Every structure is written in C-alpha cells, then in structure tokens.
C-alpha cells in the first residue's frame, strides 16, 4: 500500500487530473436520465404556465360569454358596421383598420333571434379515439 502511495506521488499532476476526469465521466444511462428529467421539467413548466394563464387571464374565451356579434356589413374596403349584443343591448359599431366607434346604442328588439348554443369542441383524445376506430374498421375489411 505504501508503494502505491509513493508511486502516486511521482505521477505528474496532469496525469492525475486526466485519471480523475475519466472516473468522473457519467455513464450513458446517467446522461439519458438527466436529459429525460430535464425534458419532463420543461414540459411541466409549459403545462403549469398554460394552466396559470387560463386560470388568471381568461383571454378571449371569457369575453365571448358577454359579447355576441349579431351581424355586420362591409361599407368600404376596410370599413364595417357591426351590431354587437352586450347584456340585452345592441351596440352599433363602426369598425375601421385603426379604430372602433360607437354609432348607436339601443335595447335588444323583442323579435330578435336568440344566440345559438354552441357545443364545446371535442377533446383531442376523443377525436383521436374516433379516428383510430375508423381506421381499424377500414383496415380490417
């Protein structure tokens, strides 16, 4: 044992550093696990940010519950007159490329059609399952 320690003392420092570097190199599995854990962390951060944005922001989906475009007509190349329903009132708006102007405000007419009930879009998993089921039926015949 003493001979081994005395011989290490004779080795140049560069050789010792190279020997330590070889021993410290991670294995293939360790590198793969590090990459997979990093990817899982990034994906979790993306999902968390999307949930937080939906929870706090609401965005355009929250506004669509309170506003509904009843109709509109083009009056120029980039100009429109639009009727928007908001809380039992109709707002007649002039819409241009640079601004929106309130032209008139009136109560909703009694004979106006009700807002159509829009069904929620199918979830991705349901669409994928339907597509796979159709593919299996078509491929098996």
On whether residue 135 sits in a domain, the answer given is no
pTM of the model: 0.39
On whether residue 14 sits in a domain, the answer given is yes
**Residue 79 neighbours by CB distance under 10 Å:** 12
d(CA 70, CA 117): 14
On whether residue 24 sits in a domain, the answer given is yes
| Count of domains observed in the chain | 2
Contact 76, 98 (CB under 8 A): no
Residue 96 belongs to domain spanning: 66-107
Pull the structure tokens for residue 48: 């968390």
Pull the structure tokens for residue 92: 């007649």
**Model pLDDT for residues 60-69, shown as the tens digit of each residue:** 554 556 788 8
- The predicted model gives 126-139 an average pLDDT of 81
Same domain for 78 and 49 = no
On whether residue 81 sits in a domain, the answer given is yes
**Residue 53 neighbours by CB distance under 10 Å:** 11
**Model pLDDT for residues 34-63, shown as the tens digit of each residue:** 999 999 999 999 999 988 887 776 555 545
On whether residue 140 sits in a domain, the answer given is no
| Cα within 13 Å of Cα(43), Cβ side | 6
């Amino acid at each position: 044992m003493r001979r081994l320690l005395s011989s290490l003392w004779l080795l140049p420092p560069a050789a010792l550093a190279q020997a330590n570097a070889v021993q410290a190199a991670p294995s293939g599995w360790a590198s793969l696990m590090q990459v997979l854990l990093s990817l899982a962390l990034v994906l979790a951060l993306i999902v968390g940010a999307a949930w937080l944005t939906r929870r706090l922001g609401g965005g355009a989906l929250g506004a669509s519950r309170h506003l509904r475009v009843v109709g509109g007509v083009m009056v120029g190349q980039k100009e429109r007159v639009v009727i928007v329903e908001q809380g039992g009132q109709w707002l007649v708006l002039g819409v241009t490329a640079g601004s929106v102007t309130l032209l008139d405000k009136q109560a909703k007419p009694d004979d106006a059609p009700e807002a159509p009930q829009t069904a929620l879009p199918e979830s991705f998993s349901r669409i994928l399952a339907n597509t796979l089921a159709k593919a299996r039926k078509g491929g098996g015949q």
